[in-house]
């Protein structure tokens, strides 16, 4: 075998080895994305904290509530009232935390200007001035049931930590009295991924009885950045390709995109994705309209620190089910290459080595590989 032919085979073998090695490593990572994950769960009588470490970074997730001395009778059982106080994601590597409200209130309203958004109302004093007609508001802060965390392993190797938290939706009216079973409930089923610090939440609004036949439902969420170092940074929000300073959001802005990004000094730090499946009264062909900015005076007073996120749903007769997805953004950290990209890379590499062989035969000097590299293979001294 001539030396030039050996050089050609050497180049082809090298490219093939690199390509197949990349494909094998990426395929293995796709099959078991949590292979290097370690985590722990710490409980107190009013909280739990999930700590985890993986290729994505070091994260912690805190879920805290307050145990009150008050009790209610619900479904023939005596239950202590708990109030949810904190839902926080922390990136220990990047040294910051994100707090979420999930959600804390919802409104029934009439969309008087037909823009599919609750932007405020003139018939109630604590909302922003606007054309919509406020019907009734519900505060979601009375827990009536919760479960401990369970661990689930999905078929692709993903580890999820799951629990349920059920709350009463109490009308924001005076002299509200039982029986409590007549009020709506909001059940929240959480699916936390400790590998990357993200959370999917199945929210189920049930036992809702509208007071207006043409009303819509508005759910209010919130997002807050908490630096774990002295420098706070420039806070911006990205929606529909537009970037807003957090302090500029003094009114409601519609979002046609279903993903809202939160940035600090131009780096993605958190996201809120409401593009999941929505079911209203059994109908899953439902579109949700999102917004950023405060629809009421409470959010306006905190616009420098909290991002107000609103989700607008159509008319609900009894039940609403949705599964928003949110959490930390791992900008700049190691990521797993998509399998489709890797297959494309393998194909391109194979095509490349075919071209290499063809061009070598034409030019005879495309690659100048030192003979010293090949001497051990040829048995030369």
**DSSP per-residue letters across 340-379:** HHHHHHHHHHHHHHHHHHHHHHHHS-S----HHHHHHHHT
Which pLDDT score, from 0 to 100, does residue 174 have? 87
Distance CA 35, CA 38 (A): 9
Q: How many domains are contained in the chain?
A: 2
Mean pLDDT over 187-198 rounds to: 96
pTM of the model: 0.78
Which pLDDT score, from 0 to 100, does residue 117 have? 96
Mean pLDDT over 132-157 rounds to: 93
Q: How confident is the model at residue 118 (pLDDT cuts 50, 70, 90)?
A: very high
pLDDT 10s digits, 316-356: 999 999 999 999 997 533 333 333 333 343 444 444 344 44
Which pLDDT score, from 0 to 100, does residue 317 have? 97
Look at residue 263 and tell me if it is in a domain. Answer: yes
- Output 180 or 12, whichever has higher pLDDT: 180
User: Is residue 173's pLDDT more than 80?
Assistant: yes
Distance CA 304, CA 163 (A): 32
Type and span of the H or E element at 57:
strand 57-74
Which pLDDT score, from 0 to 100, does residue 60 have? 97
Q: Are residues 345 and 275 in the same domain?
A: no
Q: Are residues 216 and 189 in the same domain?
A: yes
Q: Are residues 212 and 342 in the same domain?
A: no
- Output 26 or 94, whichever has higher pLDDT: 94
Look at residue 211 and tell me if it is in a domain. Answer: yes
Kindly report the average pLDDT of the chain as a whole number: 82
Q: What is the CATH number of the domain that holds 61?
A: 2.70.98
Count CA within 13 A, CB hemisphere, residue 379: 2
Cis status, amide bond into 76, omega within 30 of 0: no
Q: Are residues 230 and 351 in the same domain?
A: no
pLDDT 10s digits, 26-48: 333 344 556 689 999 999 999 99
Quote the crossing angle between the two packed helices 371-378 and 3-31, to the nearest 10°. Answer: 90
Q: DSSP E strands: which ranges in 92-215?
A: 96-110, 133-146, 150-153, 159-171, 185-193, 198-206
pLDDT 10s digits, 195-249: 999 999 999 999 999 999 999 999 999 999 999 988 778 999 999 889 999 888 9
Look at residue 94 and tell me if it is in a domain. Answer: yes
Q: What are phi and psi of 319, to 5 degrees?
A: -130, 140
**Proportion of the chain above pLDDT 90, given as a percent:** 64
Q: Are residues 136 and 26 in the same domain?
A: no
Q: Are residues 138 and 93 in the same domain?
A: yes
Check: CB of residue 158 under 8 Å from CB of residue 33.
Answer: yes
Distance CA 97, CA 225 (A): 6
Range from 148-157, 196-205, 361-370 that averages highest in pLDDT: 196-205
Check: CB of residue 348 under 8 Å from CB of residue 28.
Answer: no
pLDDT 10s digits, 47-91: 999 999 999 999 999 999 999 989 999 999 999 999 999 999 999
Which pLDDT score, from 0 to 100, does residue 2 have? 53
Which pLDDT score, from 0 to 100, does residue 303 have? 81
Distance CA 130, CA 218 (A): 15
pLDDT 10s digits, 9-29: 444 554 444 444 444 443 333
User: Is residue 130's pLDDT more than 80?
Assistant: yes
Q: Are residues 94 and 116 in the same domain?
A: yes
* 88: containing domain: 50-328
């Amino acid at each position: 075998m001539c030396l030039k032919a050996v050089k050609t085979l050497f180049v082809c073998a090298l490219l093939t080895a690199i390509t197949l090695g990349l494909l094998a490593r990426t395929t293995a990572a796709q099959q078991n994305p949590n292979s290097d994950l370690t985590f722990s769960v710490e409980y107190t009588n009013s909280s739990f904290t999930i700590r985890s470490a993986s290729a994505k970074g070091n994260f912690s997730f805190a879920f805290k509530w307050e145990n009150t001395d008050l009790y209610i009778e619900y479904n023939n059982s005596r239950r202590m009232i708990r109030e949810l106080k904190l839902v926080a994601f922390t990136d220990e590597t990047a040294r910051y935390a994100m707090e979420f409200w999930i959600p804390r209130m919802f409104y029934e309203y009439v969309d008087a200007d037909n823009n599919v958004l609750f932007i405020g109302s003139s018939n109630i004093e604590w909302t922003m001035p606007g054309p919509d007609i406020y019907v009734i508001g519900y505060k979601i802060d009375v827990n009536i049931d919760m479960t401990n965390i369970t661990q689930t392993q999905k078929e692709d190797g993903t580890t999820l930590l799951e629990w349920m938290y059920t709350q009463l939706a109490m009308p924001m009216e005076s002299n509200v009295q039982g029986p409590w079973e007549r009020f709506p409930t909001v059940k929240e089923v959480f699916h936390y991924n400790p590998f990357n610090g993200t959370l999917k939440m199945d929210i189920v609004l049930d036992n809702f009885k509208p007071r207006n036949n043409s009303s819509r439902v508005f759910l209010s969420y919130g997002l807050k950045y908490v630096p774990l170092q002295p420098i706070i940074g420039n806070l911006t929000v990205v929606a529909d390709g537009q970037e807003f300073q957090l302090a500029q959001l003094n009114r409601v802005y519609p979002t046609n995109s279903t993903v809202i990004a939160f940035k600090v000094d131009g780096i993605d730090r958190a996201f809120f994705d409401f593009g999941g499946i929505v079911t209203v009264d059994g109908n899953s062909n439902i579109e949700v309209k999102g917004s950023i900015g405060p629809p009421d005076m409470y959010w306006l007073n905190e616009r420098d620190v909290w991002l107000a996120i609103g989700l607008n749903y159509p008319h609900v007769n009894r039940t609403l089910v949705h599964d928003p997805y949110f959490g930390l953004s791992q900008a700049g950290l190691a990521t797993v290459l998509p399998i489709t990209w890797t297959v494309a890379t393998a194909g391109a590499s194979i095509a490349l080595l075919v071209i290499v062989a063809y061009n070598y035969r034409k030019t005879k000097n495309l690659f100048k590989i030192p003979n010293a590299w090949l001497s051990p293979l040829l048995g030369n001294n």
